[in-house]
């Protein structure tokens, strides 16, 4: 099931059934629904029992970011580099993940443009899978950590590299207004059989720049929830953006900053596509 927040102020659940998408309105916000398993089951049951449901036009322009997270927690290096045959791919794994926060002003919806800063900035993109918390998580065990994840969405961790490199703290380079496209919806956890067997692809202006499986993650999604919950309480609607795969070597060698008119698409089969345009 997919959960959406509609631009006109509504909330909804979408389920593919009988070869078509069906839609039901939710009585509360997506965050409230995620926190209430009975509400999720009620939406599924209503969809299953009703044949006359109509689906609003869910083109990205009709949608806002699916949740308004209280915390946007991001992970730095979390996908292994390619290594030669016979080499140990885990040899350079760090002991703990790099963790940073993006401020709430970054958040935009799936059809909104990223506004490039008026100040000089080397703006880059990072296509990522984001976990959406459904049940409050505090000091959770690794074995049960994924029980607190309600679903998955896509996140573009837009970054001003030059501002990021100015200090040892990344906050300013990560937190320009609009630097956090999220969406287009949340796919509930039950719809993703194995989150560590997903291909993350990123396309910039028609060219594939990233293509890597979540099986190459350094820190599992369960570990991230477990690890973070030792420090902060994760509340329903919070997101953990799980890190960006490595850009292809030819792309890294030919890096150019994003410019007005550019577009970046993140796509993950089973979760969806998030296309973001960039403007001045």
Asked if the structure places residue 171 within a domain, the reply is: yes
Q: Could you list the residue range(s) of the whole structural domain that residue 156 is in?
A: 65-279
Which tokens belong to 126?
């990072």
Asked if the structure places residue 194 within a domain, the reply is: yes
pLDDT score at 267: 98
pLDDT score at 52: 56
Distance CA 167, CA 269 (A): 37
Asked if the structure places residue 20 within a domain, the reply is: no
Asked if the structure places residue 14 within a domain, the reply is: no
pTM: 0.94
| CATH number of the domain encompassing residue 150 | 3.90.850.10
pLDDT in tens, the chain (280 residues): 899 999 888 888 887 766 677 788 888 899 999 999 898 888 888 887 766 555 555 788 889 999 999 999 999 999 998 666 677 878 889 999 999 999 999 999 999 999 999 998 899 999 999 999 999 999 999 999 999 999 999 999 999 999 999 998 999 999 999 999 999 999 999 999 999 999 999 999 999 999 999 999 999 999 999 999 999 999 999 999 999 999 998 888 888 999 999 999 999 999 999 999 999 9
Asked if the structure places residue 53 within a domain, the reply is: no
pLDDT score at 210: 97
Asked if the structure places residue 131 within a domain, the reply is: yes
Asked if the structure places residue 185 within a domain, the reply is: yes
> What long-range pairs does 140-149 form, CB within 8 A, spacing at least 24?
140/225, 140/226, 140/229, 141/226, 142/222, 142/223, 142/226, 143/222, 145/221, 145/222, 145/223, 145/225, 145/226, 145/229, 146/189, 146/221, 146/222, 146/225, 148/225, 148/229, 148/234, 149/189, 149/221, 149/225
pLDDT score at 107: 98
CB 6 within 8 A of CB 12: yes
Asked if the structure places residue 105 within a domain, the reply is: yes
Number of domains in the chain: 1
């Amino acid at each position: 099931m997919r959960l959406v927040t509609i631009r006109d102020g509504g909330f909804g659940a979408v389920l593919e059934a009988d070869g078509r998408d069906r839609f039901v309105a939710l009585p509360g916000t997506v965050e409230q629904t995620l926190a209430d398993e009975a509400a999720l089951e009620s939406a599924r049951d209503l969809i299953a029992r009703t044949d006359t449901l109509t689906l609003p036009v869910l083109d990205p322009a009709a949608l806002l970011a699916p949740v308004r997270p209280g915390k946007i927690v991001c992970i730095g290096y979390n996908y292994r580099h390619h290594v030669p045959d016979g080499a140990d791919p885990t040899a350079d794994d760090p002991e703990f993940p790099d963790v940073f926060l993006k401020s709430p002003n970054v958040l935009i919806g799936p059809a909104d443009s990223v506004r490039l800063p008026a100040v000089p900035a080397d703006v880059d993109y990072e296509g990522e899978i984001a976990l959406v918390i459904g049940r409050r998580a505090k000091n959770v065990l690794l074995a049960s950590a994924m029980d607190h994840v309600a679903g998955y969405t896509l996140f573009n961790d837009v970054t001003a590299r030059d501002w990021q490199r100015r200090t040892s703290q990344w906050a300013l380079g990560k937190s320009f207004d609009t630097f956090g496209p999220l969406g287009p919806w949340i796919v509930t956890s039950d719809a993703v059989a194995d989150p560590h067997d997903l291909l993350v692809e990123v396309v910039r202006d028609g060219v594939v720049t990233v293509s890597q499986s979540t099986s190459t993650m350094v820190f599992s999604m369960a570990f991230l929830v477990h690890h973070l919950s030792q420090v902060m309480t994760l509340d329903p609607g919070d997101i953990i953006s799980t890190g960006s795969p490595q850009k292809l070597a030819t792309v890294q060698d030919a890096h150019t900053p994003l410019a007005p008119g550019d577009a970046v698409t993140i796509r993950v089969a089973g979760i969806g596509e998030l296309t973001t345009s960039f403007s001045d």
